[in-house]
Structure 1
Amino acid sequence: MVTQGLHANAGQGLGLQGRHVVVTGGSRGLGQQIVRLLSARGARVSACGRREETLEALCRGLEDEGLPRPFTRALDVAAPEGLERFVAEAAAENGGLYGVVACAGGARGGGVEEAAPADWMATWELNAWHSARLAAAAVPHLRAAGGGSVVLIASISGWKPGPQAQYGMAKAGQIHLAASLARELGPDGIRVNAVSPGSMLIPGKRWDRMRREDPAAFADFRREFPGGELVDPKEVAEVVAFLLSDLASGVSGANVPVDRAQNAPTPQGY
């Protein structure tokens, strides 16, 4: 009962009520959890994703929960200009901007001998470069509002090595980007932080498929976690909401792991 009470009151004092936050990759997985939590905490949310149908499913789900319908756009965050246009349209639709969350990400290619140059570039653009473009597009709006918060979703793969190298390199870039931009944008009242999730159990994704298709391998992988359980994306969303909030006013330039003290980031170990 005590735990339920704490969870029920978790949104009090965050200062997100009525504040507009843009979330990339917001239609599925972790991004969906972030959108849902921010909406439940009273924020106005705009979200983009690759496909109209997944964005529409997100909107219907929020409406079914009695939450407002977010402003959405279907786009590829790595494509030229679309991301910047989305941020501008979302800010105009919602009367400004308070925060952004760079949640879109992913990887292409296999090991270093198999991955083509295009795989390395695509992985970099989808993670680190998209984060830089999102921050740059947001800065004028955040500055006009007197400051705000930028959160980049990196990964423990950014500092705990494991295959594939192109993904770890891109995630390490996001972590360094947060630290550098925190110094650059601090005078404008803009905080920048990275969040590094461990391996998350998301329905239909890699670890959920392993759990269903290869229980023995999944049981071995769970040993990488001292508590024996993978990360719940809701746990990551809570940290993102905190970093966006007034409670984190003194936190900038940080990389915050949410990994349940995970050891190696993949079943292949270090």
Structure 2
Amino acid sequence: MNGVDDTDGARGVGRPGAAGRAVIVTGGSRGLGRETTLRLAAQGCDLAVCGRDAASLEAVAEEVRARHGRTLHTERLDVLDESALAAFVRESAARLGRVHGLVTVAGGARGTDLRDTEPSDWDLTCRLNVTHPAIALREAADHLAGTGGSAVLVSSISGWKPAPPAQYAAAKAAQIHMASSLARELGPRGVRVNCVSPGSMLIEGKGWARLRDEDPRAYRAFEKEFPGGRLVDPRDVAEVIAFLLSDRARGVNGANIPVDGGQNAPSAYGY
């Protein structure tokens, strides 16, 4: 992957003793979450992964077993169910025996433009992107403090570059600020908290891949928003997440790291 020898992490290049470290990933079975799970497994990490789709969870678990010889604790749940999410983190910590890292990938939005968006859409979007990572980190914090671990919250380019829909942009901006605040709160306990803000990622079956297939002209126009002429590869984002979880990033705390290829407009549909 991207010229990196997957055995390096197991030898400790990612972090001394990387093999056998334990990481919890929300939304870890599809898209960026899947790539993050696979990257961490390649480094020899033990993992607990949740997601909404049982088939996707089983597929990523089987891939991790086949490619990396690791086993996963998986659980089907919706992170909007706050009690189930909290229980998942607690059970994962118990099963793994320790927690060195937390990655909150699950997110999303509901609603369109301002006139057609209900208060419930704002509430749900905030719960997905702000409340969910806050609860997961609350439950993991004591375990992370015990291992000198860290958390990575996955935000978005929309959190710091204006883009519709506003409820998603506002929630992602709040997530970035929350990570910085929690880094100050948890730092004295030895826990780092950072954000990664991906640009528009090309993921098969998702929106930009559909645009590429259904409207090639619009997709080619959108590619011009990227200096390198291509959308973001989720594997590249997963590499940055893995780095932030490692001791090589021990000086990085409370940061928001854009992984957007220098993207200009966050959307093919304008600001």
Q: Do residues 13 (structure 1) and 16 (structure 2) align?
A: no
Identity of aligned residues (%): 52
In the TM superposition, residue 7 of structure 1 has moved relative to its aligned partner by: 4.7
Could you say which residue in structure 1 is the equivalent of 2:155?
A: 154
Per-residue CA distance 1:216-262 (angstroms, 9 max, x = gap): 00001001001110000000000000000010011000000000000
Per-residue CA distance 1:79-99 (angstroms, 9 max, x = gap): 131111011111111111111
Could you say which residue in structure 1 is the equivalent of 2:30?
A: 28
Point out where structure 1 has 5 or more consecutive residues left out of the alignment. none
Instruction: Trace 1:165-244 onto structure 2 (pairs within 5 A).
Output: 165-244=166-245
User: TM-score, normalised on structure 2?
Assistant: 0.95
Could you say which residue in structure 1 is the equivalent of 2:122?
A: 120
In the TM superposition, residue 200 of structure 1 has moved relative to its aligned partner by: 0.2
For residues 43 and 62 of structure 2, the distance between their equivalents in structure 1, rounded to whole angstroms, comes to: 18
Could you say which residue in structure 2 is the equivalent of 1:77?
A: 79
For residues 179 and 202 of structure 1, the distance between their equivalents in structure 2, rounded to whole angstroms, comes to: 28
Per-residue CA distance 1:179-215 (angstroms, 9 max, x = gap): 0011110000000000000000000000000001100
For residues 145 and 163 of structure 2, the distance between their equivalents in structure 1, rounded to whole angstroms, comes to: 38
For residues 94 and 7 of structure 1, the distance between their equivalents in structure 2, rounded to whole angstroms, comes to: 26
Q: Do residues 134 (structure 1) and 141 (structure 2) align?
A: no
- Matched AA of 1:135: L
- Matched AA of 2:44: G
In the TM superposition, residue 59 of structure 1 has moved relative to its aligned partner by: 1.1
In the TM superposition, residue 9 of structure 1 has moved relative to its aligned partner by: 6.5
Instruction: Trace 1:38-53 onto structure 2 (pairs within 5 A).
Output: 38-53=40-55
Which of 98, 101, 105 is 1:99 aligned to?
101
For residues 68 and 230 of structure 2, the distance between their equivalents in structure 1, rounded to whole angstroms, comes to: 31
4+ long deviations beyond 4 Å: 6-10
Point out where structure 2 has 5 or more consecutive residues left out of the alignment. none
- Matched AA of 1:101: V
| Contact 1:40–1:67 under 8 Å retained in 2 | no
Per-residue CA distance 1:58-111 (angstroms, 9 max, x = gap): 112222324312111111111131111011111111111111001000110110
Q: Could you say what the CA RMSD is over the residues aligned between the two structures, in angstroms?
A: 1.3
For residues 186 and 146 of structure 2, the distance between their equivalents in structure 1, rounded to whole angstroms, comes to: 13
1:106 counterpart SS class: coil
In the TM superposition, residue 10 of structure 1 has moved relative to its aligned partner by: 5.6
- Matched AA of 1:253: G
- Matched AA of 2:134: A
User: TM-score, normalised on structure 1?
Assistant: 0.95
- Matched AA of 2:94: A
| Contact 2:46–2:71 under 8 Å retained in 1 | no
For residues 124 and 157 of structure 1, the distance between their equivalents in structure 2, rounded to whole angstroms, comes to: 14
| Contact 2:48–2:73 under 8 Å retained in 1 | yes
